[in-house]
Amino acid sequence: MLALTRKSKEAIRIGGDITVTVVEIKGGQVRLGIEAPPGVRIYRAEVYEKILRENMMSSGLSVEEFSKIKEALGNEDKV
């Protein structure tokens, strides 16, 4: 993991087409703005994990079976 220090209104670039900007810092919260191409889906981590769990449940596969498929495909970060 890369850890960076940014102040309000400062940004980071991911690749050539994604920009993450610190919009506001208030108390213990940081508000981020994300600019990305229309085809890039952006989720909060907890929402993404829920989507993965629901997709596994709807497929009728067990977590173990799903893990085996991910391993066989070699796309663990993308599945």
**Counting Cβ atoms within 10 Å, is residue 70 exposed (0-12), middle (13-18) or buried (19+)?**
middle
Collapse the DSSP code of 45 into the 3-class scheme (helix H, G, I; strand E, B; otherwise coil) and give the result: helix
Q: What is the pTM of this model?
A: 0.66
Confidence of residue 79 (pLDDT cuts 50, 70, 90): very low
Q: Which two tokens stand for residue 8?
A: 């309000």
Distances (CA, A) of 41 to 18, 21, 52: 11, 17, 14
pLDDT of residue 6: 95
pLDDT of residue 77: 54
Distances (CA, A) of 63 to 47, 54, 67, 70, 74: 18, 11, 6, 10, 16
Per-residue pLDDT tens digits for 15-72: 999 999 999 999 999 999 999 999 999 999 999 999 888 887 777 777 788 788 888 8
